[in-house]
Amino acid sequence: MYKSLKYFKIMKLTDDQLKNIKEQQTQESKTKRVTAPELEKILYEAIPALDHGFIRVIDYMGDDTSIVQSARVSYGKGTKQVSTDSGLIKYLMRHWHSTPFEMCEIKYHVKLPIFIARQWIRHRTANVNEYSARYSILDKEFYLPDPQNLAAQSISNRQGRGDVIEGEQAKEVLKLLKNDAERTYDNYETMLNQKFDGSTIDENKKGLARELARMNLTLNTYTQWYWKTDLLNLMNFLRLRADHHAQYEIRVYADIMLDTLKRWVPITFDAFMDYRVGGTEVSAKGKVTIQKLLKGEEINLEQSGLSKREWNELMEAFEITDKIV
């Protein structure tokens, strides 16, 4: 499914990083704990995201049976059939049970643009350790959108994109993004390397402190972090970030993580896609509206007691396009 390691030389992984991945993938350990065979196949692999980013699964705990075990508070896998486990997991998902899903955990190594990291960190339900630009120097790598993902501000959505920008305008925008990123990084390097001592240069002095020099960098500069979370909060993250309304760049990462979810806990994945991603929530007024429509009764926006946005979202969810106002 994923590109071979040769591809990652284009992605600018260093020889040391490639060597490290090879070493991690060839190591073997005996364990009495449950493992997910399909996830093991891609463990440690750098899966490309955007132009210079990637996601790696580097550790995990538990599988579908761990969820079932927790729900039943039993001593191991027991004698239940897979179909029975599936039914229980679906029940837990359908009724919004939470703690059994918290028994599984996963840890990712993610390389991503800073502006996506700042959006991602809003999900305050994970353990995060980010690359420190106070301690180390950030690489000269910037995210530049593909032309088809370069769009104007949406007129109807304050935090979304509208029509795609094309032709000379697109070239101008990409040029501005590239030039600004390169210029600020060059200045970053200058400040790190220039030796300062008040108004004079002293060979015994060092460059500007890294914690200060970094503030000059653009938000499309790449950073990295380890992100560890439990299964429940991973699904909460994916329900929002793999949605078609989410920003394209973070959705790229979420889509990759969806595949790792399927490899890790396939029964839970199916229930998640059915009840969380493919399902919809309906308010009491929305339920009455749908009931009347099923009975063939006439009902409109004013009669429903819903706001225009609620009405349209309900009609879109049930694909009743002729009722959208």
3-state SS, the chain, equals CCCCCCHHHHCCCCHHHHHHHHHHHHCCCCCCCCCCHHHHCCCCCCEEECCCEEEEEEEEECCHHHHHHHHHCCCCCCCCCHHHHHHHHHHHHHCCCCHHHHHCEEEEEEEEEHHHHHHHCCCCCCEEEECCCCCCCCCCCECCCCHHHCEEECCCCCCCEEEECCHHHHHHHHHHHHHHHHHHHHHHHHHHHCCCECCECCCCCCCCCHHHHHHHCCCCEEEEEEEEEEHHHHHHHHHHHCCCCCCHHHHHHHHHHHHHHHHHCHHHHHHHHHHHHCCCCCCHHHHHHHHHHHCCCCCCHHHHCCCHHHHHHHHHHCCCHHHCC
Q: Show me where the domains of the chain are located.
A: 7-141+220-277, 147-216, 284-323
Average pLDDT over residues 35-62: 95
Whole-number Å distance between alpha carbons of 263 and 64:
11
Instruction: Name the catalytic one among 56, 210, 214, 241.
Output: 241
Q: Please, what is the average pLDDT of the chain? A: 88
Under 8 Å between Cβ of 261 and 238? yes
pLDDT of 197 higher than 80: no
Task: Answer yes or no: is pLDDT of 215 > 90.
Answer: yes
81 residue type, one letter: Q
- Please write the tens of the pLDDT for every residue from 269-320: 999 999 999 988 899 999 999 999 999 999 999 999 999 999 999 999 999 9
For position 3, what pLDDT does the model report?
A: 46
* CB-CB neighbours of 132 under 10 Å: 12
pLDDT tens digit sequence for 239-252: 999 998 899 999 99
End-to-end CA distance of the chain: 42
Query: Which pLDDT belongs to residue 109?
Result: 96
The pLDDT assigned to 245 comes to 87
78, pLDDT greater than 80: no
81 pLDDT above the threshold of 50: yes
Our CA dihedral for 147, 140, 46, 253, rounded to 10 degrees, sits at -50
Q: Which residues, including other chains, have CB under 8 Å from residue 79's CB and lie 6 or more apart?
A: none
**pLDDT tops 90 at residue 232:** yes
The answer to whether 239 is a known catalytic residue is: no
Contact indicator for 196, 212 with CB cutoff of 8 Å: no
Residue 203 pLDDT level (bands cut at 50, 70, 90): low
Quote the CA–CA distance of 42 and 44 in Å, as a whole number.
6
Judged against a pLDDT cut of 60, whether residue 266 lies above it is answered with yes
pLDDT tens by residue, 126-154? 999 999 998 889 999 999 999 888 888 77
Tokens 């060979």: give the residue: 203
> Which stretch of 29-33, 66-70, 85-89, 231-235 has the lowest confidence by average pLDDT?
29-33
Orientation of helix 82-94 relative to helix 64-72, angle to 10°:
70
Angstrom distance (rounded) from CA 270 to CA 255? 15
What integer pLDDT is reported at residue 166 of this predicted model?
84
Distance CA 192, CA 187 (A): 9
Per-residue pLDDT, averaged over 84-109, amounts to 94
Per-residue pLDDT for 167 more than 70?
A: yes
d(CA 100, CA 65): 10
Mean pLDDT on 174-197: 89
Architecture (CATH level 2) of domain 7-141+220-277: 2-Layer Sandwich (3.30)
Q: Please compute the mean of the pLDDT values over residues 118-128 and round it to a whole number.
A: 94
